[in-house]
Structure 1
Amino acid sequence: MIRFGPMSITLLLCAGQGIVLAGLLLRARRNRAANRWLALLILAVAALITPFIIGYAGFYDRWPRLSFAPFSLTLAFGPLVYLYTLSLVDAPPARVWPHFMPVLVQFLADALVFPFPLETKNWWNTVAHSPLISPVFEAGTIVSLGLYGLAAWRRYRGYRRWLDDNRTDGVDVDPSWIRNFLIALMVVAVIWLGFIIAKRIDPGRDYFDQFLLYVTFSALVLYLGIAGWRHAETAFPHVSRARVPEVAAGVEKGRDWVVQGQEWVRMIDSGAHWRNPELTLAVLARALGTNTAYLSRALGAASGENFNTLINRRRVAEVQRLLAAGDARDLMALAFEAGFNSKASFNRAFADLAGMSPSAWRLKSRKSPAI
């Protein structure tokens, strides 16, 4: 008898909402490649939940021939996590299909057995699927998630460093969502591993004992869908798009990078390059007649600061100077004049470098020394 109870309805509502959100992600105009990968990940997790939705409702009792329906595509999780992260911050690899060869094998392992009579499927499950194939796919999924998750985390960490080394508006494109996305997935992977181990220790556990695991998957579907949709239109600068042809800057061997950096800092100050709200490391390198690699190395050697801190320090100092001189204009007018291009980047930089908010500094500007 088919009957949707609290278990099946709970999972169905979450999976259904995830499918709707995946559809919205597929229609997003910005970050199209990344949003497609995320939508596919949500759909793959929803597919994993589906056998338990219909199982708790009694479908398998009524129609046991549904066994081996190819709902489990867990070996796609790792590649989709990595490709989503990579597509948000950089260009994805030209060839992505090799990443999905394992999940194709996983799909075929069920799809080829599905049409057979129930007796044959039960025999295959006894002699091969349960004792050998299923454990291999479970272990492969956890290993795949770990390796791809680590690769995605390295991409995220590298991207944060790249923002600090190349841009001054990193707070406007804060990639914390990527960090939270990866942490959420790793937490779910650890919980999943715990259930797998528990099942191996106690083979008598049935699919009702797995309910909390699939509630966790359902929560993941909702989180990925809702938070992913919130960030679907965020314009993350792409590392690959920011690369420009490097200009020869002389012979590197024997160069005194501190002296060179001091000279470029002097040129930055004399030319007030920091006033340019669109300033990036590449733009500054072109203005100074060098390349980004040499400029980044020299500025670090001379100042001990990355590009973001060096430029924003000058902008904050200019706002402080104007406030100390009694300039009564709106704080954002002063921020824009100093080169900031958003309220978020201004407030974050000012708090980090001055130790207080711009409004608090204005109240104490006559007593507070410039940074």
Structure 2
Amino acid sequence: MSLILGLFEAQMLVLAAAIIGRGGMTRRSLGALLIVLCGVLTPFTIGYAGFYDRWPWLSFAPFAVPLAIGPLLYVHLNGLIFDRPIPRWHAALPVAQFAYQAVAFCMPLDLRGAFDRQVQRPWLDPILAALLLASMVGYAVAALRALRRHRCWLVARRSNLAAARRVRAVLIAYAAIVTVRTGYLIADALIAPLSYFDMFGFYVVLAVVGNYMAIEGWRQADARPHPIVEPIERDWRPIAAAWMDRIEAHGWWRDPDLDLAELSRRLGTNTAYLSRGLNEGLGLGFAEAINGLRVEHVAARLRDGTDGDILTLAIDAGFGSKATFNRVFKERFGVTPSTYRRVSTVKNDAERPDLQRNT
């Protein structure tokens, strides 16, 4: 018995180390899950070999933390499906279980034996079994919901479903552990109490499933996960305003060949991001934003009383045609460029005598 479980454990540990060494949240979480499965197997691997009889002080050694199985599986699947970690409170029960075992392991051996007979077996073991079952089933249900959401997201975008199949394979393997564990708990409660050796079948299943997950995890270590990409809510106004400041400062609006792709490259972003930022931040399209800067420049020159030809000013500002310039200018100021110049000239002439009298 010990040899069989020990061989399974050794292979899992080697693959876990190799998977963790590849880096990344999903790989590290899978490696940690495999190590926890090995820890759950360890008390039985060394127990069947007689370690506890020969070295009684090993009792309560915190090898097994089964309450960590569900959270680590959920961390792994959450990384594959959403590419993000889970809240830290999921670690509360596993940490509490490990801490409890560590404290009990530090107790004197005689006290440990009395505590095991009077408290651990009659009271704490049933509570732990119920918590473990609830944890495993709860995380299985949560993972199943996430898998369905992932599949629907991939189907809606006509994406390859290989990523969803990898997630499903992990979930099926986990479901096998939950199902067999539930069967043993029912048999223990309703048929007859199970002994230490009666549980060997469950731990063989655990070892086989763990090795399957390890081998598949190693094989798929470099596969593209294709997680769900959620839309990010942003305040586009300051982002768009900063873009406009850069465009104006560099004079990029003067370039008659400027288009959305070229401006995106100069700003260090992409066309979709730039277009959305201008629309949601300023309520403007690309052409409206750039032509707005151009007509403001021409209008400022006209207000300054320049004698230059209006069409030349428009071309210098980046407009490609007179018709486009006249249309944009009239939409912006409500009058034609020539009328705007005439009104500005009259206004400047009216203000000039006042300035001379003041001087």
TM-score (norm: length of structure 1):
0.61
Work out whether 1:9 is the aligned partner of 2:3: yes
Change (3 A) 1:286 1:158: farther
C-alpha displacement of 1:230: 1.3
For residues 273 and 195 of structure 2, the distance between their equivalents in structure 1, rounded to whole angstroms, comes to 63
**Which of residues 227, 235, 238 in structure 1 aligns to 2:216?**
227
- Matched-pair contact (CA < 8 Å) for 1:8–1:53: yes
Work out whether 1:50 is the aligned partner of 2:38: no
- Matched-pair contact (CA < 8 Å) for 2:67–2:93: yes
**Which of residues 236, 243, 258 in structure 1 aligns to 2:231?**
243
C-alpha displacement of 1:287: 9.6
C-alpha displacement of 1:288: 12
**Which of residues 59, 65, 76 in structure 2 aligns to 1:67?**
59
Larger radius of gyration between Structure 1 and Structure 2: 2
User: Which residue matches 1:27?
Assistant: 21
- Matched-pair contact (CA < 8 Å) for 1:78–1:149: yes
User: Which residue matches 2:94?
Assistant: 103
- Is there any run of 5+ residues in structure 1 with no aligned partner, and where? 1-6, 249-281, 292-371
User: Which residue matches 1:351?
Assistant: none
Change (3 A) 1:114 1:170: same
Work out whether 1:142 is the aligned partner of 2:130: no
User: Which residue matches 1:157?
Assistant: 148
**Is the helix fraction higher in 1 or 2?**
2
C-alpha displacement of 1:205: 3.0
Structure with larger RCO (C-alpha < 8 A, sep 6+)? 1
For residues 181 and 139 of structure 1, the distance between their equivalents in structure 2, rounded to whole angstroms, comes to 23
Work out whether 1:18 is the aligned partner of 2:7: no
- Matched-pair contact (CA < 8 Å) for 1:106–1:137: no
Q: What CA deviation, in whole Å up to 9, does each residue of 1:44-91 have, x standing for no partner?
A: 111000011111111011011211111221111111111111101213
C-alpha displacement of 1:286: 9.8
Change (3 A) 1:116 1:86: same
**Which of residues 126, 129, 132 in structure 1 aligns to 2:123?**
132
- Matched-pair contact (CA < 8 Å) for 1:156–1:178: yes
- Matched-pair contact (CA < 8 Å) for 1:173–1:235: no
Work out whether 1:81 is the aligned partner of 2:73: yes
Q: What CA deviation, in whole Å up to 9, does each residue of 1:232-275 have, x standing for no partner?
A: 111122323x63669x9xxxxxxxxxxxxxxxxxxxxxxxxxxx
For residues 203 and 124 of structure 1, the distance between their equivalents in structure 2, rounded to whole angstroms, comes to 24
C-alpha displacement of 1:113: 1.0
Work out whether 1:91 is the aligned partner of 2:79: no
Look up the equivalent residue of 1:62 and give its one-letter code: R
User: Which residue matches 1:176?
Assistant: 165
User: Which residue matches 2:347?
Assistant: none
Q: How many residues align?
A: 246
Q: What CA deviation, in whole Å up to 9, does each residue of 1:257-306 have, x standing for no partner?
A: xxxxxxxxxxxxxxxxxxxxxxxxx99999999x9xxxxxxxxxxxxxxx
Change (3 A) 1:62 1:147: same
C-alpha displacement of 1:100: 0.7
The Cα RMSD (Å) is 2.8
- Matched-pair contact (CA < 8 Å) for 1:75–1:141: yes
TM-score (norm: length of structure 2):
0.63
Change (3 A) 1:216 1:98: same
- Matched-pair contact (CA < 8 Å) for 1:76–1:103: yes
User: Which residue matches 1:299?
Assistant: none
Q: What CA deviation, in whole Å up to 9, does each residue of 1:211-244 have, x standing for no partner?
A: 111101110111110011111111122323x636
